[in-house]
Homo-oligomer: A and B are copies of this chain.
């Protein structure tokens, strides 16, 4: 139950890109890596994935770089997670590709995983990149504490 570090870095990179003129200014990977502190090779690998997913628009050649292909308010955290980690699937049962579950036949809880998957994905889809890139967290002042 944890996001991978690459997803974390992807959010950091996209958040930094969104702060530059709303993500419309073209920015190369090197400067963003320096600004955020993400290692350069990792940042390059991430922008490749994000460009393949259609979240950012990349331009090659001299003076190239990338920029957000959509406004930050229309990019959700679910989009970023799916771009980096692939489709959101809580268990192997959810996507039809994997059928290597030993239970599979008499599994009584398998029909319920779909609802769980939708619930988690809905929680992630409710958070936009605009919220993540904001300076002052709107809901962080009320309670920042995590329950153990």
Known: A37-B102, A109-B15, A112-B132. A1 touches B88 (CB 8 A): yes
- The segment out of A47-55, A58-66, A113-121 that lies at the interface is A113-121
CA distance A1 to B144 in the complex (A): 20
Count of chain A residues with Cβ under 8 Å from any Cβ of B?
61
A115 touching B137, Cβ below 8 Å: yes
- A36 interface residue, CB < 8 Å from B? yes
Expressed in whole angstroms, the Cα–Cα distance for A102 and B134 within the complex equals: 21
A21 contacts the other chain (CB 8 A) = no
A126 at the interface (CB under 8 A from B): yes
Question: Which residues does chain B contribute within 8 Å of A123, judged by CB atoms?
Answer: 119-120, 122-123, 146, 148
